[in-house]
């Protein structure tokens, strides 16, 4: 009889869509070191996958992600703690740097580093019963790493409210604040996620990758500097074969034929 543990992360690809599923439902999909390493490795693999156009980040069970695995955070030395948080931060940055857009499929609670994971993704679809929280203060651990993408996704006052009070946001309030793109009933979650995925997959993978990189590159810049960067990027973009093909296809009233990368 096979007594081995199930993998902490599942990866499957259907056409242009890669689905990553957090697979620790018995631990509320906590981000243990093994899951962080598995996510980092999977993201590196996807980045080099020429057939992958979009990534869906999902989770098994009722909870999307409960944050760091607290059982791994007791009695360690400084180097171990620093390594854990640095590895998690680097995994989050891999999502931002990934050429393919990442859609979070949030079916339940996302707290602490789990909320960080949601805020890091490019698009978020959640059920109307999902909740989002940064409750570290309850256990004496301010959510300083989760706040980094959170305060870049929602207004600062609301982020501070979450960080100071530990009270969760409802899906509806998260939508109103800009953390979530769509809120749907549970039975419509996959349909809504797939609609985003297919819309992205129809466009040029080169242009989508270029656009995602440009979006995050200009985000912290002042307006004039951002325009300077954007002019340079779009000048290169318009000369790319996919842009020339797309313009020609529009003028000729036909579907474009994109390059594969």
Q: Which residues of 53-63 are buried (b: 16+ CB within 10 A; e: fewer)?
A: bbbbbbbbeeb
CA pair distance 225, 87, nearest whole angstrom: 31
What is the DSSP code string of the chain? ---PPPPSEEEEEETTEEEEEE--GGGTT-B-HHHHHHHHHHHHHHHT-TT--EEEEEESSS-SB--B-GGGSSS--HHHHHHHHHHHHHHHHHHHH-SS-EEEEE-S-EETHHHHHHHHSSEEEEETT-EEE--GGGGT---TTTHHHHHHHS-HHHHHHHHHH-PPEEHHHHHHHTS-SEEE-GGGHHHHHHHHHHHHHTS-HHHHHHHHHHHHHHTTS-HHHHHHHHHHHHHHHHHSHHHHHHHHHHHHTS-------
- Residue 236 in this model has a pLDDT that exceeds 50: yes
Question: How confident is the model at residue 2, as a pLDDT?
Answer: 47
Q: What is the mean pLDDT of residues 129-140?
A: 98
- pLDDT tens, position by position, 108-124: 999 999 999 999 999 99
The overall average pLDDT reported for the chain is 96
In the sheet where 110-111 sits, what is the strand order?
A: 110-111, 131-133, 169-170
- In sequence order, the 6+-apart residues with CB closer than 8 A to the CB of 115 are 67, 132, 133, 134, 143, 146, 150, 162
CA pair distance 139, 98, nearest whole angstrom: 33
The reply to whether the predicted model has a pTM over 0.75 is: yes
CB 136 within 8 A of CB 112: yes
CA pair distance 52, 96, nearest whole angstrom: 16
Kindly report the length of the chain: 261
CA pair distance 166, 137, nearest whole angstrom: 7
CA pair distance 88, 39, nearest whole angstrom: 10
Question: How confident is the model at residue 56, as a pLDDT?
Answer: 98
**Please, where in the chain does CATH 3.90.226.10 lie?**
9-201
Would you place residue 5 in the very low, low, confident or very high pLDDT band (cuts 50, 70, 90)?
confident
- Residue 261 in this model has a pLDDT that exceeds 90: no
- pLDDT tens, position by position, 45-95: 999 999 999 999 999 999 999 999 999 989 999 999 999 999 999 999 999
**Please, where in the chain does CATH 1.10.12.10 lie?**
205-252
Strand partners, 103: 56, 123
Question: How confident is the model at residue 4, as a pLDDT?
Answer: 73
User: What CATH code would you report for 205-252?
Assistant: 1.10.12.10
What architecture is the 9-201 domain classified under in CATH? Alpha-Beta Complex (3.90)
């Amino acid at each position: 009889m096979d007594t081995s543990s199930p993998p902490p992360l599942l990866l499957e690809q259907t056409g242009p869509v890669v689905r990553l599923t957090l697979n620790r439902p018995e631990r509320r999909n906590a981000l243990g070191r093994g899951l962080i390493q598995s996510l980092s490795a999977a993201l590196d693999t996807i980045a080099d996958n020429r057939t992958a156009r979009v990534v869906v980040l999902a989770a098994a069970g009722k909870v999307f992600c409960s944050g760091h695995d607290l059982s791994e955070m007791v009695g360690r030395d400084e180097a171990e703690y620093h390594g854990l948080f640095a590895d998690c931060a680097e995994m989050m940055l891999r999502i931002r740097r990934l050429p393919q857009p990442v859609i979070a499929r949030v079916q339940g609670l996302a707290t602490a580093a789990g909320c960080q994971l949601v805020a890091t993704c490019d698009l978020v679809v959640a059920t109307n019963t999902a909740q989002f929280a940064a409750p570290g203060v309850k256990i004496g651990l301010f959510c300083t790493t989760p706040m980094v993408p959170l305060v870049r996704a929602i207004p600062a006052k609301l982020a501070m409210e979450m960080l100071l009070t530990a009270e969760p946001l409802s899906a509806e309030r998260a939508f109103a604040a800009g953390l979530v793109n769509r809120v749907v009933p549970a039975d419509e979650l996959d349909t809504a996620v797939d609609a985003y995925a297919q819309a992205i997959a129809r466009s040029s993978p080169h242009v989508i990758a270029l656009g995602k990189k440009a979006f995050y590159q200009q985000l912290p810049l002042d307006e004039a500097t951002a325009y300077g960067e954007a002019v340079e990027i779009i000048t290169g973009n318009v000369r790319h074969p996919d842009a020339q093909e797309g313009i020609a296809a529009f003028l000729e009233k036909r579907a474009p034929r994109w390059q594969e990368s």
